[in-house]
Amino acid sequence: MPKTSKKKPALKDLAQANAKVPTMELTSLDQIWGFSEISRYGTTDEGEYKLKIFDMTRADLENHARAVGCLVLESSERLRNELLKQFRAYILSLRKPASLPQGKIKVSDAAQKVLNEGR
């Protein structure tokens, strides 16, 4: 059987490398305008935010907690955990699953008859 000589496309020419369908829609004006790094936390990356709050002094932590509307707790560790919890909730609020287009669903005649009974 002869081999067909199909040339593979170059990696830089590929539009998508992982077969995943993009599942997030833009939900805030900052995202629409391209300012995704501007937020009350200063970042949208959890790792970067963790480094930021673990480098803060106690006074800085309290000021930051007040600025983002977090309850100031007595333990620095509990305060950091609460800040991380609120940060994660904030980031999840920015991510919205993409809405799938509603297609025409084919219903069998028997099912359609049952659905029409309530009319």
Task: Give the pTM.
Answer: 0.53
Contact 54, 76 (CB under 8 A): no
Locate 43 and state its tokens. 């970042």
pLDDT digits (tens), the chain, 119 positions: 556 667 777 767 766 556 666 556 666 666 666 655 457 788 888 899 999 999 999 999 999 999 888 888 889 999 999 999 999 988 887 776 666 666 677 888 998 888 888 77
